[in-house]
Structure 1
C-alpha cells in the first residue's frame, strides 16, 4: 500500500484559522485542506442549516416539472412514480410517492424487475402506465438516456418528467422536464446530488406552492440521507446539509420502515458509515434477490408492525444475498487463477449462472483482492450483463466509452457502471477493455493508496481534539474521515489475530509516555509480525468511538502499519 502524505496547506492560513476558531494547528490544517479558510466557512461547515439549501427553481426545467404535476392534480390524472431498483431509486420513489400521497390519491409506484426489464425506464413500465390509464410518469434516478422510451410513451399520450443525476448523452429525451444538475445547460449551483436528492428538490418546489416550508419536509430526509450514503456521492455543499439533517431524523424519529431495519443494527447512534454498511445493503437486497417493490413497500409503510414484517422478509433476502456473494466471489477468484490472469491490468470474469443481483458486490470484492478496474458478467436473457467497479482516480466510464463499439449499452459514473453486450462480443470486449486500461492507467493507480491528512503524536489526541474531530461528520467523498500518521509505536503485548477467519488484527498501542489506545485493523492480521516484533513501528489510522456493551471508548482504526523506515 502507498502512503501519501497530503501537502501541508499554507501556514499563514492555518495560523489565521487556528486563532479565529481557538483550535489547534492540526484541526485548522484539516479544515484548510477541505477548502475551509475563514470563520464564516467553518461555521457553515460545523453548523449546517436548512436555509443553506438552494432554491429548487435554480434547476433547469423545475418550473416546467412543477407546472405539469400541478396540472395533473388539477385534472385528476393518474401519476406513476418510476425508479431504479437500487437504494437511490427505491428511496427516491418512496420519497416522491409518499409526498404526493399526502395530498393527492391517484399515485402509483413502479420499480422495474432487475432480471426481466433491466436498469432504468422500461417499455414494460410504460405499458403498465398505459394499461392503468396513467398520463404522467415521474422517473427518478434514471431516464437521462431513455430517448426511445420517452418517445414510445409520448406516442401513447404519456408525459415524462425525469429526475436524474447521471451524465447525459449528447441528446436529451423529449420529456416535459428533464431535471439533472449534470446537464451542461443547467446552472444549478450544486451538481453532485443523488437521484433521491433531485427528487427532494422537486418536492421542495412543489411544497412552496402549498404554503409549506423546508421544515415541513425534514421528515423525508431520512430517505435522502440513506440515498446519499448508499450512492457514495460527495458529502459536500448541499449533500452535507441533507445528510446531516437526514441522519438526525434516522437517529431520532425515522419512518417505520427504517426504524424496523435499525432494530437489526445493534447500535445506539448511527453514522453515515452505518447507513452504508448496515441499512443500505438490506434495502438493496430486495431488488437484488427478489424485487425492488419490496423496498418501496417497506419505506412507505406507516404501520410499525407491518413494517417489521417487511423488514424480517428483507433480512432473510439479505442473508441469502450474503451467501451468494461469498460463493460467487470464491468462484470468480478461482477463474482468475485458472485462466492465469493475475498479472493483467483488468479483471473481467463471466459465468452464465452467477446471480445478476450480486455481481456488483462481487466486482467490489474482486477489486479488494486484485486492485484494478473490474467487470463481472453474467447471462441476462439473450445478452450478457456486467457490473463495473474502478480503482481510485481511474474513470471506468471513460474506459467503457472507448469500448462502445463492443457494447449494446452502458451507463454510470467514474467508479461504477453497468453494461450489456451480445455473447459474441464478450471476448472482443474483454481484449479491448484490457488494452484501453493498459494504455490509459497510471501504474501507481494499480497500488492501493492511503492518503494521510497529517502526522501527529498521541499526545495531540486530547478530549477537545477528538470532540471537534467528531463534528467533521458526516464523512464521505469530499470529506473523508481524517487519516493520521504516527511513528515510534509499540504494541504492549496484547496483539492478536481476531475474527471468525482470524484475518483482522487487534493491538493495544503506545507511543512514549502518552496514553495508549486499543487499535483494530481489518484485514491486517498478516502484519502482526511487524506489530508484535518488539520493535517500534509506524501506522496510519483514523480515530473513532468504539461502542461495546454500553461502554464508549476511543480507539484507532488502523489502515496500515509498517516497520520504521
Structure 2
C-alpha cells in the first residue's frame, strides 16, 4: 500500500480550536480535518440534535407532494409505494408504507424483480398499479430519470411522486412532485441524503400536518440509519443526526424486523460498521437471491415471532449469496490465470451461468485482489449484463462512455456502474476498455492507498483520548474512523498468526518508554516475518475497543505495516 497523510490542517486553526475546546492537539487536528473549526461547530459535531434537522418544506415540491397524498387519502384512493430492491430502496418502502398505514389502510408496496424488471421504475409495476386501481405511486430511491415511465403512467391515469437522491438528467419526469435535493433548482440546505432519507423528509412533512413532532418519528430512524450505512453516503450534516439517533433506536428499541436480524450479534452496542456487515447484507440478499419483497415483509412486520421467521429465510438467502460469491470469485480468478491476464490494467471476465445477483460483489472481490478497474459479465436473456467497480480516483463511468459504441446501455457513477451488451461485442468491448484504462490511468492508482490522519505515539493513547474518539461516531464517508501512523514499534515476542489459513496477525507491541498494547491485523498474516525477532516496524492503526466475554479492552487494529527502515 501507499501511505499518505491526509491534508494537514493549518496550524493556527488547530491551535485556535485546541484552545477553545481545551483538548489535545491530536483531537483538534482530527476535527479541523473534518471541517470542524469553531466551538459551535464542535458542539454540533459532538452533540447532534434533532433540532438540527432542516424544515422539510425547504425541499422543492414538498408542499405539492404532501397536498397530493392528503388528497389521495381524502378521496379514498389506493396508493402504491414503489422502491428499488437494494437496502436503500427496501428500507425506504418500509418506512413510507408503515408510516402511511399507521393512519390509512389503502397502501400497497411494490419492489421490482431484479431479473425480470431491472433497476428503477418499471412498466410492469405501472401496469400492476393500473390493474389494481392504484392511482398514486410514491417512488423512492429511483425515478429521477424515469421520464418515459412517468408519462406512460400519466396516460393510465396514475400520478407519481418521486423521492430520489441521484443526479437528475436534463429533463425531469412530469410528476406531481419531484423531491430530490440534487435538483439544480432545489435550495434544500443538505444534498447528501440517501433515498430513505428523502422519504423520511416526506413523512416529516406529512407528520407536521398531522400535529406530530420530530420525536414522534424517531422510531422510524432505525430504517434511515440502516440505509445511510448501506448506501455509503457522507456521515455529515443531516445524515449525521439521522444516523446517530437511528443507531440509538437500533441499540435500544429496534423494530421487530431489525431485532430479528441482530439477535445473534453478541455485542452490547452495534456500530454503523456492524450495520454494514450484519444487517445490510441480509436485507440485500433478498433482492439478490429471491425477491426484494422478502426484505419489506421483514421490515414492516410488527410481530416478533413472524419477523424471526422472515429473518431465518433471509439468513438462508444470505448463506446462498455467500456460497455463490465464493464460487464465482474462484472461477473468475481461475479464468484470469488461465488467460494470463494478471498483468493487465483492467479485469474483464465473463461466464454465462454466473448469478446476476452477486456479480457486483465478485467485481469488488477482484478489485481487492488485483486493484484495477473491474467488470464482471454474465448472460441475461439474449444479452450480457455486467457490474463494474473501480479503484480510487479512476472514473469507470467515463471509461464506459469511451467504449459506448459496443454497449446497449450503461449507467452508474465514478466507482460503480452497470451495463448490457450483445455477446458478439464482448471481445471488442474488452479490448477497448483495457486500451482506455491503459492509456488514461496513472500508475499510482493501481497501488492501493491508505490515508492516515496523524502520527501518534503509544504513550499519547489515554482513556480520555479514547473517550473523545468514541464521540466522533458514527463513522462513515467524510468522517472515517481516525487512522494513525505509529513508528518504531516492537513486538514483545509473542507475535503469531490466527485463522484457519493463518491469514490474520496477532501482536503485542510497545514503543520506547510505553506500555504494551495488543494488536490485531486482519489479513496481515503474511507479514509475520516483518515483526518477529523484535524487528522494528511502522504501522497504520485505528484504536479499537475489543469486547470478549463481556470484558472490554483496548487494542490496536493494524491496517498495514512496514519495516521501520522503509
TM normalised by structure 2 equals: 0.98
Name 1:200's counterpart in structure 2: 200
Name 2:477's counterpart in structure 1: 477
Name 1:396's counterpart in structure 2: 396
Name 2:217's counterpart in structure 1: 217
Is the counterpart of residue 166 in structure 1 residue 182 in structure 2?
no
> Is contact 2:256-2:303 (8 Å) kept?
yes
Which residues of 2 match residues 10-49 of structure 1 at below 5 A?
10-49=10-49
Distance in 2 separating the partners of 1:445 and 1:57 = 43
**Superposed CA offset, 1:82-107 (max 9, x none):** 11111011000000100110111110
Distance in 1 separating the partners of 2:515 and 2:457 = 11
Name 1:465's counterpart in structure 2: 465
Q: Which secondary structure does the structure 1 equivalent of 2:166 belong to?
A: coil
Which residues of 2 match residues 345-360 of structure 1 at below 5 A?
345-360=345-360
Distance in 2 separating the partners of 1:182 and 1:404 = 26
> Is contact 2:493-2:533 (8 Å) kept?
no
**Superposed CA offset, 1:55-106 (max 9, x none):** 1122222222112111111111111111111101100000010011011111
Q: 1:344 to 1:195 in 2, by over 3 A?
A: same
Which residues of 2 match residues 345-384 of structure 1 at below 5 A?
345-384=345-384
Aligned residues: 565
Which one is further off, 427-436 or 68-77?
A: 427-436
Q: Which secondary structure does the structure 2 equivalent of 1:552 belong to?
A: strand
Name 1:113's counterpart in structure 2: 113
Q: Which runs of 5+ in 1 are unaligned?
A: none
Name 2:135's counterpart in structure 1: 135
> Is contact 1:487-1:539 (8 Å) kept?
yes
Deviation, 1:328, is 0.4
Name 1:534's counterpart in structure 2: 534
**Superposed CA offset, 1:188-223 (max 9, x none):** 221111111111111111111111111111110000
Which one is further off, 281-290 or 337-346?
A: 337-346
Distance in 2 separating the partners of 1:436 and 1:123 = 35
> Is contact 1:166-1:412 (8 Å) kept?
no
**Superposed CA offset, 1:428-476 (max 9, x none):** 3222322333333222111111101100100010000010011101111
Q: Which secondary structure does the structure 2 equivalent of 1:352 belong to?
A: coil
Which residues of 2 match residues 182-261 of structure 1 at below 5 A?
182-261=182-261
Which residues of 2 match residues 322-361 of structure 1 at below 5 A?
322-361=322-361
Name 1:435's counterpart in structure 2: 435
Name 1:511's counterpart in structure 2: 511
**Superposed CA offset, 1:336-361 (max 9, x none):** 11122212222111111011111111
Is the counterpart of residue 95 in structure 1 residue 95 in structure 2?
yes
Which one is further off, 388-397 or 19-28?
A: 388-397
Distance in 1 separating the partners of 2:433 and 2:216 = 49
Q: Which runs of 5+ in 2 are unaligned?
A: none
**Superposed CA offset, 1:7-41 (max 9, x none):** 43111111111111111001100101111111100
Which one is further off, 374-383 or 392-401?
A: 392-401
Q: Which secondary structure does the structure 2 equivalent of 1:532 belong to?
A: helix
**Superposed CA offset, 1:463-515 (max 9, x none):** 00010011101111100111101111011122111112211111111112212
Which residues of 2 match residues 415-430 of structure 1 at below 5 A?
415-430=415-430
Is the counterpart of residue 316 in structure 1 residue 316 in structure 2?
yes
Deviation, 1:402, is 3.2
Deviation, 1:171, is 2.0
Which residues of 2 match residues 32-71 of structure 1 at below 5 A?
32-71=32-71
Is the counterpart of residue 554 in structure 1 residue 551 in structure 2?
no
Distance in 2 separating the partners of 1:242 and 1:255 = 16
Distance in 2 separating the partners of 1:551 and 1:10 = 40
